[in-house]
Amino acid sequence: MITEQAVDVDDLLLADGAETRAPDHSADSPALGIFQRVHPLGLIAIGALIVAVLWHTVFSTDRLIGNLEWWHWAVLVATAVFGFVPAVLNALRVAIESLSDVTLRFVWIAGWLVFFAQLINVVTRYLNPAFEADILIGEITSVAWQLFALMSLLGLNYGVKAAVNPRIDFWWDDWTDRTKAWLDFVMHTFFLLPFLFAMVRILHGYASVSLGKRRGDGTWPSGWRVWDSWEKSPDADQLPLGPIKAMIFVGFVLFLLQIVAEVIKTGFVLAGRREYAQIAARDEFQRIE
């Protein structure tokens, strides 16, 4: 006799190497009523808008909250509005995580290129005596470490998505998904997001200068040979450093976007929206006690 077994689609493992599962709310208290109507991120945006308006009209200081640019207002208003439309926030989360999957492919390519660069480095080192001359290409060493840096920068966002970061605690595995979501949502929203936003603002100017923008008048060099103005490596053959320094900015932008996706996911857990919520499955060996 063939019997049918009920399958809960929420328990399926999602694709692309990141093992995720729908949260088990059986041991959790019901979602707060207000979270059922608006995503917690939308509430944060509404609160930020109120504070920003007060600062603009009452205090008028030099702090950023009192001097928001137009796109700051646009992001806050859009976040507040989309907080009432969970499907839009979930679509944004899916798009960000799709970007993480794309960058992972570049990470794999960079990893293999590092291997071949170091292989050439080792082989030529042992062939030098045979040719009675130094045939080691000076750029190979710089290429290898720059590729390794690129691999790390482009892998930050996927690492957050796949939850490969170790959690140094004693209780995480025993907590309910709602408690884990509360911790991640608070820490990401009030600590990590402000830090990453500040880093992106700082690194934007740093990346521009690395690519040739002049510090004094803020102009770019004339002509199309922009690489002539890039900083050179102190190693042999002087490999340009401008592109890899600019990639620090790109890496932190990707990091910031993935944290936004994590805030969206954990907010759905708090709201009890099982159709959108996901909790990444973390391996036991990652716990450090």
Question: To 10 degrees, the CA torsion angle through 201, 203, 204, 206?
Answer: 140
**Is residue 250 a contact partner of residue 206, using CB atoms and an 8 Å limit?**
no
- C-alpha 222/C-alpha 233 separation (Å) is 23
Nearest to 235 by CA among 102, 121, 94, 76: 121
Nearest to 277 by CA among 9, 8, 10: 10
Give the tokens for residue 279: 């909790």
CA-based radius of gyration for the chain:
24
Predicted local confidence at residue 167, as pLDDT? 66
Per-residue pLDDT tens digits for 105-132: 999 999 999 999 888 888 887 777 776 6
Per domain, the residue ranges of the chain are 31-84, 85-286
**Is residue 270 a contact partner of residue 182, using CB atoms and an 8 Å limit?**
yes
229 forms bridges with which residues in the sheet?
Answer: none
User: pLDDT tens per residue, the chain (289 residues)?
Assistant: 444 343 333 443 343 444 555 555 444 445 456 667 889 999 999 999 999 999 888 887 777 887 888 999 999 999 999 999 999 999 999 999 999 999 999 999 999 999 998 888 888 877 777 766 565 666 787 888 899 999 999 999 999 998 877 666 667 777 888 888 899 999 999 999 999 999 999 999 888 888 877 777 777 777 677 777 777 777 666 678 888 999 999 999 999 999 999 999 999 988 888 778 766 555 554 444 4
- C-alpha 92/C-alpha 78 separation (Å) is 12
- C-alpha 283/C-alpha 131 separation (Å) is 51
**Spacing of C-alpha 73 from chain mean position:** 22
Q: How buried is residue 55: exposed, middle or buried, by Cβ count under 10 Å (0-12/13-18/19+)? A: middle
Per-residue pLDDT tens digits for 149-177: 999 999 999 999 988 776 666 677 778 88
> Beta 20-21 vs 279-280: how paired, if at all?
antiparallel
Predicted local confidence at residue 118, as pLDDT? 87
Q: Look up residue 133 and give its DSSP letter.
A: S
Predicted local confidence at residue 281, as pLDDT? 57
Residue with tokens 């770019």: 220
The answer for residues whose C-beta is within 8 angstroms of residue 193's C-beta and 6 or more apart is 256, 259, 260, 263
Predicted local confidence at residue 131, as pLDDT? 63
- C-alpha 65/C-alpha 59 separation (Å) is 10
Predicted local confidence at residue 6, as pLDDT? 39
**Is residue 238 a contact partner of residue 232, using CB atoms and an 8 Å limit?**
yes
Q: How buried is residue 228: exposed, middle or buried, by Cβ count under 10 Å (0-12/13-18/19+)? A: exposed
- C-alpha 235/C-alpha 241 separation (Å) is 11
